[in-house]
Structure 1
Amino acid sequence: MREEMTGALLAWYRANKRILPWRDKNNAYYTWVSEIMLQQTRVEAVKPYFTRFITELPDIPALAECREEKLLKLWEGLGYYSRVRNMQQAAIQMTEEYNGKLPESFSQLLSLKGIGRYTAGAIASIAYGIPVPAVDGNVLRVVTRITENSEDIMKPSLRKKIEADLQEIIPQDHPGDFNQAMMELGAVICVPNGQPKCEECPVKDFCQARLHGTTDKYPVKAPKKSRTVENRTVLVIQDGERTAIRKRPSKGLLAGLYELPNRPGHLSREEALEYAESLELEPLYIQKLPEAKHIFSHIEWRMTGYLIRVASLERTREPEILFVEKKETDKEYAIPSAFGAYVKYMKEEVV
């Protein structure tokens, strides 16, 4: 039955797989970059980022040598910036130890910064034909539905058990296709947060959840802890030509990225003007901006904002503040999407 299920899955994948810019390229670097980008990000959103990244940084040595400012700008909008910083550290290691190439060993791949068991399994199987499983969220969902496994999918013990089970059935001659087929099945057929397309599923005859009408009960996931809510006030400070931005600290949330000046709490108009004056700026005009919200993994920012026009941005008491023209931020400075609701006011006049 296992061989029959695997055969049906592979046949379906080869006939229906999506055309993706990193797929079927026989390029370990492409596989690595795409898998890191796809963590926490949808396929359609990743496509343009992947193409731009590969165009600018076509190989591991280029990634290793890239300036941080450029690297973060290429990643801008994808979020979770530690991913690309880890990639660069791994690229430096590979340049020094592996002649600028991804090692052809599962254990060596695991030793690289930012590469866990799933990513190592994906690279090893897809790029090098090594028969090791790659278990991501899609695969966990597919397997727990097929087997009606009610264990918490966040438990490492369950992931290890599923890896061991898949290791027994992964085809020795087509491990990359098998792993991609499992991921694809979870992405387009055995979908989350909705009704799976069971009638289109190539392995529906082997699925216990479909047989018993329990697909909505799997996978089982323990409730998340509630997020910490933080109120913030974001300030778009301009002199007409330039806008004030500053670099965040090198450690912590959004480390090393640029941001619009902001303060804890929801400031009144008077408090916002007082802050601008404390920077030794001369406010001429203030306008309330809409409220916005941004959710990180464990923190939720609830933001309000002000547009403040000042007489000049020649100097300020905060040396880390930069005064940049609106067009510069598009090319040079990576401002995270957390500030997206207010960044747009750097690029258009507000009446």
Structure 2
Amino acid sequence: MRVEGRETKIAADLLAHYNVHARRLPWRAPPGANATDPYRVWLSEVMLQQTTVAAVGPYYAKFTARWPTVEALAAAKDADLMAAWAGLGYYARARNLLACARAVARDHGGRFPDTEEGLRALPGVGAYTAAAVAAIAFGRRAVVVDANVERVVARLFTIATPLPAARPEIREAADRITPDARAGDFAQAMMDLGATICTARNPACGICPLRQDCAAVQTADPAAYPVKAAKKVKPHRLGHGWWIERDGHVWLVRRPDKGLLGGMRALPSSDWSAAPDSTPPLAARWTMIDPPVAHVFTHFSLALTVHHAHVVQDATPPGEGEWWPVAQIGDAGLPTLFARAAEAVRKDQDARD
């Protein structure tokens, strides 16, 4: 519960700063005005999870041009949406995006619920997204805490408990400083502050509008907050991928809906483990590319050894798949790992020609 005093001053000072210095973003209303389209607020918030504003901008423009309403997105084909999402990563977000759009169109007449509780009931909408949409799109008082806000709050109150255990304490402190009015502007102002001034490294405390009320400024090292638990070493896995080319087309498969890169087009590949099966999907004269393609997932790193071969006209790999024009491989919507594999094949073939 918010209290009077220092907490009220923090909100007032930050909103005054936001009135002048708010970032101009395509999904954002000007300071003092609630967003008029919850669909675009929701879409941007889902895209921005664990992704930078710079990376999201082109995807947001592409999505809103192709699917300008939640009903249009709900009618999209799974494969089209997954292809459009390719490169943004964390592909479960794309599957949840489609499930949520369809629920809004089917169960709510194309209108997003205007409360946190109603938003939380939608598929794929968690506490953060529900709070952000409720505050930014509907002007509801909601406590919005993303990684930037965590950092700002931890420094304001010198919260010394390491993350992630500190999150309840951080949220409670964020609740105390969230105002009843302009909660959406306040949430976006906190995000802006963390992204542009109260950065993870070398925070610009000298120009921070909250420096007079920030406990971390009084310490020798404000960047020491939030305190982070020691990182665990990610396990390393190996895998094999096969580029099967025939008459200017490459064989692509669709990964299972559940699991990593679910529903995405991809090259046929082995399991990803300490000792993956290296048996190719069909007999051919295979060329192995060295070094393997490196990629880091959330929970492990991967070295994918890529093999490529040209096959005769009547050769068809086992299982379901499609022959995709090599010249149009950029339109296949391959996730980053397999886009890198395709680029490795192209470079290897050019070097051999």
- 5 Å matches for 1:93-242? 93-155=103-165, 158-192=166-200, 194-239=201-246, 241-242=248-249
Per-residue deviation, residues 137-166 of structure 1 (Å, max 9, x unmatched) = 1111111111110112312xx433333333
Select between 179-188 and 213-222 the one with higher mean Cα deviation.
Answer: 213-222
Say which SS state the counterpart of residue 227 (structure 1) adopts. Answer: coil
Which letter does structure 2 place at the counterpart of 1:39?
Answer: Q
C-alpha separation in 2, matches of 1:130 and 1:326:
50
Residues 154 and 226 in structure 2, CA contact (< 8 A), matched pair in contact too: yes
Which letter does structure 2 place at the counterpart of 1:94?
Answer: V
Residues 164 and 229 in structure 2, CA contact (< 8 A), matched pair in contact too: yes
Select between 233-242 and 86-95 the one with higher mean Cα deviation.
Answer: 233-242
Give the corresponding residue for 1:321.
321
C-alpha separation in 1, matches of 2:175 and 2:271:
50
Residue 185 of structure 1 and its aligned partner are, at CA, apart by: 0.6
C-alpha separation in 2, matches of 1:310 and 1:164:
62
Residue 287 of structure 1 and its aligned partner are, at CA, apart by: 5.5
TM-score of the superposition, structure 2-length normalised? 0.88
- Structure 2 unaligned regions, length at least 5: 1-5, 30-34
C-alpha separation in 2, matches of 1:346 and 1:323:
16
Residue 307 of structure 1 and its aligned partner are, at CA, apart by: 3.0
Residue 187 of structure 1 and its aligned partner are, at CA, apart by: 0.7
Say which SS state the counterpart of residue 292 (structure 2) adopts. Answer: strand
Residue 6 of structure 1 and its aligned partner are, at CA, apart by: 1.7
Residue 289 of structure 1 and its aligned partner are, at CA, apart by: 4.4
Residue 208 of structure 1 and its aligned partner are, at CA, apart by: 1.1
- 5 Å matches for 1:290-305? 290-305=291-306
Structure 1 pair 265–186 and aligned structure 2 pair: CA distance change class (3 A) = closer
Residue 217 of structure 1 and its aligned partner are, at CA, apart by: 1.6
Residues 131 and 167 in structure 1, CA contact (< 8 A), matched pair in contact too: no
Residue 262 of structure 1 and its aligned partner are, at CA, apart by: 2.5
Give the corresponding residue for 1:279.
282
Structure 2 residue corresponding to 1:256, chosen from 263, 267, 286: 263
Residue 258 of structure 1 and its aligned partner are, at CA, apart by: 1.6
Residues 154 and 222 in structure 1, CA contact (< 8 A), matched pair in contact too: yes
Structural RMSD (CA): 2.2
Which letter does structure 2 place at the counterpart of 1:279?
Answer: L
C-alpha separation in 1, matches of 2:244 and 2:317:
14
Query: 1:5 and 2:20 equivalent?
Result: no
Residue 12 of structure 1 and its aligned partner are, at CA, apart by: 1.4
C-alpha separation in 1, matches of 2:290 and 2:139:
54
Give the corresponding residue for 1:307.
308
Structure 1 pair 208–169 and aligned structure 2 pair: CA distance change class (3 A) = closer
Say which SS state the counterpart of residue 238 (structure 2) adopts. Answer: strand
Structure 1 pair 247–60 and aligned structure 2 pair: CA distance change class (3 A) = same
Which letter does structure 1 place at the counterpart of 2:185?
Answer: D
C-alpha separation in 2, matches of 1:197 and 1:104:
36
Which letter does structure 1 place at the counterpart of 2:171?
Answer: E
Residues 8 and 202 in structure 1, CA contact (< 8 A), matched pair in contact too: yes
Give the corresponding residue for 2:26.
21
Per-residue deviation, residues 28-79 of structure 1 (Å, max 9, x unmatched) = 1111011110111111000000010111111111111110010101111011
Which letter does structure 2 place at the counterpart of 1:5?
Answer: I
C-alpha separation in 2, matches of 1:108 and 1:347:
49
Residue 94 of structure 1 and its aligned partner are, at CA, apart by: 1.4
Residue 195 of structure 1 and its aligned partner are, at CA, apart by: 0.8
Which letter does structure 2 place at the counterpart of 1:321?
Answer: G
Structure 1 pair 216–46 and aligned structure 2 pair: CA distance change class (3 A) = same
C-alpha separation in 2, matches of 1:72 and 1:264:
22
Residues 9 and 202 in structure 1, CA contact (< 8 A), matched pair in contact too: yes
Per-residue deviation, residues 88-133 of structure 1 (Å, max 9, x unmatched) = 1112221222111111111111111121111111111111110111
Structure 1 residue corresponding to 2:55, chosen from 42, 45, 50: 45
C-alpha separation in 1, matches of 2:167 and 2:272:
41
Residues 155 and 225 in structure 2, CA contact (< 8 A), matched pair in contact too: yes
Give the corresponding residue for 2:343.
344
Residues 291 and 302 in structure 1, CA contact (< 8 A), matched pair in contact too: yes
C-alpha separation in 2, matches of 1:92 and 1:229:
37
C-alpha separation in 2, matches of 1:265 and 1:103:
41
Residue 218 of structure 1 and its aligned partner are, at CA, apart by: 0.9
Say which SS state the counterpart of residue 262 (structure 1) adopts. Answer: coil
- Structure 1 unaligned regions, length at least 5: none
Say which SS state the counterpart of residue 48 (structure 1) adopts. Answer: helix
Per-residue deviation, residues 254-309 of structure 1 (Å, max 9, x unmatched) = 1221211223589xxxx97xx55x615x43x7363443211111121112223323
Structure 1 pair 342–4 and aligned structure 2 pair: CA distance change class (3 A) = same
Say which SS state the counterpart of residue 301 (structure 1) adopts. Answer: strand
Residue 198 of structure 1 and its aligned partner are, at CA, apart by: 0.8
C-alpha separation in 2, matches of 1:307 and 1:80:
27
Q: Tell me the number of residue pairs that the alignment of Structure 1 and Structure 2 aligns.
A: 337
Residue 243 of structure 1 and its aligned partner are, at CA, apart by: 1.1
